[in-house]
Structure 1
């Protein structure tokens, strides 16, 4: 895989699908230094298409790293918060890359391609930080870490009919696992345009779906093939705005909102991701938050006025006890939802809380995450 995306630097970067987005009339926005489609038609239409049928997303801005060598599994156990050595070939696992003092550098998905071969996918805006952290942790391990981000395009097809769309895409051949037998957080191999294609049953929308890792040179033609196969299934192109409202309804954290170097995993409800009894890993011990550290909760409200990131969460007397990290009027549920970090004393079920929406106190109900769960 040799084709490179546009070089990094101060100029905006575009994915291999730029021409496809422009042809569809996309509105672009800066995201981690990339010019990405925020919407094509309307946020609401794209969101609903994913919940009811399927949406196709360009996520080629994400960063990919290979981890290979005899010590690859042991190295990842040390470098990440989870126990990746326990993962079998063919599976994927969500994990966290921590700082030495227990904060979160990034959340990642790790795929075990072979006994000594792993793929790590991280957020676009954290590519440099993840590369630096992974590279700095190789000492003492027989392992090689390589940033291969520029060699690939990454396309997501998400929604209840996503499997039918991929199964109808004749250009995808030699699928190693029958479509109906592919499990969530697992991957299969296939061939596209004579080259290897990785099919991962993963996503960031709360729906069934796939993420397809393809040679960068073939990303545009694969996009076309998927769009053609999805035409009779209601597939629509969807941008970052819909992706954000979908992940919020699904209670999935966004780096820079719910996750940061100042947040410890347990604060974000991700304590389960940390395997604390490993002999050693970066951040061990330091990952435990202070007793008075704010914790992430779900909040719902009535009406149409939604709290946004940065808005205060207050008590009836106006005392500030937290701050919204992500908030929106839920397209699926029809009422405001938010994730917020609040003081432990305000995190209990039944606590009377309010969203301070530009000086107006909106009553809010503490709600378990996720807000939305797809039908099986």
Structure 2
């Protein structure tokens, strides 16, 4: 079978392997990237606060898992992605991107090195098929295999300051390693204790909330008992099940971009402040590399900034950013994400604005349904956890 053919057949909407568990917990569902996923269980605000103060347990089974393996898997990924996965040590993870020939962002993703010849690439739900196709095409010249394993895995995240304390009793790591020794953006195989028996998982200290936490890749057959074990452990420390609504406000406070909002094929890594993940000195002809070198050499016309507002009305994605001192409210940008911050108590937003108006401290305004509400350009992220 060719790499391009090793993809997961999809229908819409797809159901999480935990769908019945969520329904029993009283979840409200939403169609997200073709998946029916829990958006909340009781209160967005309560779930958000639980992640900041104790822990939240998220079902992320809509994310895509793509395995790249073989003698030249690392070199193949160097050619497929903007980074250099071949230099990663086993057990490390790296944030990166797939870009097109013009340097536009096809998807942002995390790559885990599982072995000398084995990697796991985790893609956003909406972009699994484009990522699989891109990887299969770009890896074809190398001795590497690409397989979409999304249907094989459930993914559960436990995020929050008590995550490590909650999960430690459930996990057995190789060679007596301690959970506290697993650093940020590291992963390890582990054994997860269930109510009856155990299951082998991939444990990663990664997340999308701005808090400490873990993502647990579980075989689909063990998804339900694994969720019950992880949620039970979190609840013993004050944790709660958490939906996609609070995950969005958490990642916004942490200044983390979302594909389809901050990241699109119309944006490039430098415009959104992620040029650090691009390796321009690779010894393979990576797709988009020539365009990225040109983009790196010239200032972007628009850049991603943080905006702080006042009051209770929050800027929303798509709202125009204007210069209040310009003629007739000159449009100088567009909001990509915005919300009333549950943690900070005031409106926050990310926006792509003209580079000339992007300095911290600049006063701008957002057109909120015909009313120009003042905002100030501030540094990202809006929130940093105390370590």
- TM-score range with shorter-chain normalisation? over 0.9
Give 1:3's aligned residue.
Answer: none
Deviates more, 1:153-162 or 1:225-234: 225-234
Question: Is 2:325 aligned against 1:320?
Answer: no
Question: Is 2:286 aligned against 1:293?
Answer: no
Contact 1:155 1:212 in 2 (8 A): yes
**Secondary structure of residue in 1 paired with 2:67:** strand
Give 1:8's aligned residue.
Answer: 10
Question: Is 2:65 aligned against 1:50?
Answer: no
Q: CA deviation at 1:349?
A: 2.5
Give 2:231's aligned residue.
Answer: 227
Q: CA deviation at 1:174?
A: 4.5
Give 2:28's aligned residue.
Answer: 27
Question: Is 2:175 aligned against 1:198?
Answer: no
Contact 1:152 1:215 in 2 (8 A): yes
Contact 1:92 1:185 in 2 (8 A): yes
* d(CA) in 2 for partners of 1:270, 1:62: 21
Q: CA deviation at 1:194?
A: 4.8
Match of 1:282 among 281, 287, 294: 287
Q: TM-score with structure 2 length normalisation? A: 0.92
* d(CA) in 2 for partners of 1:314, 1:269: 21
**Secondary structure of residue in 2 paired with 1:100:** coil
Q: Structure 2 matches for 1:82-161, cutoff 5 A?
A: 82-161=83-162
Q: CA deviation at 1:237?
A: 0.4
Q: CA deviation at 1:168?
A: 2.9
* d(CA) in 2 for partners of 1:273, 1:100: 17
Q: CA deviation at 1:230?
A: 2.1
Give 1:173's aligned residue.
Answer: 172
For residues 37-89 of structure 1, the C-alpha deviation after alignment (integer angstroms, 9 at most, x for no partner) is 00000110000000000000000110001111111111111110011111111
Contact 2:173 2:188 in 1 (8 A): no
Match of 2:365 among 354, 360, 372: 354
**Secondary structure of residue in 2 paired with 1:254:** coil
Q: CA deviation at 1:352?
A: 2.1
* d(CA) in 1 for partners of 2:168, 2:320: 47
Match of 2:355 among 322, 344, 351: 344
For residues 149-178 of structure 1, the C-alpha deviation after alignment (integer angstroms, 9 at most, x for no partner) is 100000000000000111133xx4345531
Give 1:255's aligned residue.
Answer: 259
Match of 2:211 among 203, 207, 212: 207
Q: CA deviation at 1:346?
A: 1.1
* d(CA) in 2 for partners of 1:159, 1:174: 21
* d(CA) in 1 for partners of 2:49, 2:300: 39
For residues 320-342 of structure 1, the C-alpha deviation after alignment (integer angstroms, 9 at most, x for no partner) is 10000000000000000000000
- Where has structure 1 moved over 6 Å in runs of 4 or more? none
Give 2:273's aligned residue.
Answer: 269
Cα distance change of structure 1 residues 56 and 286 upon mapping to structure 2, 3 Å threshold: same
Give 2:381's aligned residue.
Answer: 370
Question: Which ranges of structure 2 fall in alignment gaps of 5 or more residues?
Answer: 1-7
Q: TM-score with structure 1 length normalisation? A: 0.95
Q: CA deviation at 1:351?
A: 2.3
* d(CA) in 2 for partners of 1:320, 1:108: 32
For residues 208-230 of structure 1, the C-alpha deviation after alignment (integer angstroms, 9 at most, x for no partner) is 00000010010110111112222
* d(CA) in 2 for partners of 1:292, 1:42: 40
For residues 307-366 of structure 1, the C-alpha deviation after alignment (integer angstroms, 9 at most, x for no partner) is 000001001141110000000000000000000000111112332211111111111111
**Secondary structure of residue in 2 paired with 1:257:** coil
Give 1:70's aligned residue.
Answer: 71
Give 1:306's aligned residue.
Answer: 314
* d(CA) in 1 for partners of 2:349, 2:46: 21
Contact 1:7 1:13 in 2 (8 A): no
